[in-house]
Amino acid sequence: MLLASVGSAYDLKLSTLVAVHAIWVQAASYLDSRALYRTTSPKASRGRSVVLLLKAQRQDLYQRLQQSQSVASHLHNLSAEISITVDFLSQALCASPTDIQAVAGRFGDDESRAVLPFIQEWFLGEDHRYSIWHAGQVLRAPQKVEADGLYRFYSVLVYHAFMTLSISSVMAKLLNRIIDLGSTRMIILNGPRTSELDDYLLTGLATPALQFKNHSEPISKPYVIPTIMRNIFEDNHT
């Protein structure tokens, strides 16, 4: 990656952030294309081609985001702002923020009902697990931000992460997919990546949870997500 070779003559943090925001534009274009595809009825052969194209586009964007984050970390240049932005975009590629807000009722009851089948499909698939993992990482990043550092733009990204986690919790109840805590382990979404987390992303056999200051709770408990959201915004004085 070019950022790894520019040397100390450049502001690497700013350069990395600019590179990530350039991917943002392409991610938004991908989400628009996917939404447009869902509203049309192409012929079967053309439809398969479009699906493959969209999947390839998303995979490329996702890999570039992870590469940007990896390079920034290798250069000891991974700021909280870069982390929040990369994980938000990774989350958005797996769970459209527009769909999440629509099913939550932002655009009215009709739109909420229209998008519900897509959200149900999302919840039952791999995209759901990756999106809530990245949402958890968005919540982890503000721990590195100094007081008053989580200003308007980044606070909105944190809000979207909470929305994704909240819809996941609601869908678990709606579809009766809450896992018995007595029979499985908890996976901490706002903690470091572990081999257990990788197993969860692959199989889904664990209970998604968020870590408080000294303990963890599953996101299916109604008070967990609002409490952590309040704590983050209070700690950062947004």
For the stretch 39-89, pLDDT in tens is: 775 555 456 788 889 999 999 999 999 988 888 777 666 778 888 999 999
Cβ-based neighbours of 155, under 8 Å, separated by 6 or more: 233, 236, 238
User: Does 97 have pLDDT greater than 60?
Assistant: yes
What pLDDT score was predicted for residue 95?
96
Picking from 70, 100, 64, the residue whose alpha carbon sits closest to that of residue 83 is 70
Q: Is residue 212 part of a domain?
A: yes
What pLDDT score was predicted for residue 65?
94
Q: Is residue 94 part of a domain?
A: yes
Question: What mean pLDDT do residues 161-177 have?
Answer: 89
Beta bridge partners of 211: 216
Domain that holds residue 181: 7-236
Question: What mean pLDDT do residues 78-101 have?
Answer: 92
Question: What mean pLDDT do residues 1-12 have?
Answer: 59
More confident residue, 111 or 151: 111
What pLDDT score was predicted for residue 119?
95
Count CB atoms within 10 A of the CB of residue 129.
Answer: 22
Q: Evaluate whether 209 touches 216 at the Cβ level (below 8 Å).
A: yes
Alpha-helical runs (H) found in 124-194: 126-140, 152-174
Q: Is residue 92 part of a domain?
A: yes
Q: What is the pTM of this model?
A: 0.87
User: Does 7 have pLDDT greater than 70?
Assistant: no
d(CA 219, CA 187): 10
Q: What percent of the chain has pLDDT over 90?
A: 52
**pLDDT, tens digit, 9 for 90 and up, residues 118-129:** 999 999 999 999
Instruction: Report residue 194 as tokens.
Output: 């572990």
Burial 30-51 (b: 16+ CB within 10 A, else e): bbeebeeeeeeeeeeeeeeebe
What pLDDT score was predicted for residue 182?
46
| Averaged confidence pLDDT in the chain | 84
Q: Is residue 188 part of a domain?
A: yes
d(CA 109, CA 168): 19
More confident residue, 17 or 91: 91
At residue 208, the 3 state secondary structure works out as strand
Write phi, then psi, for 207 (nearest 5 degrees): -105, 115
Q: Is residue 1 part of a domain?
A: no
Element (H, E) at 121: helix 109-123
What pLDDT score was predicted for residue 42?
54
Count of the separate structural domains present in the chain: 1
Confidence class of residue 161 from pLDDT cuts 50, 70 and 90? very high
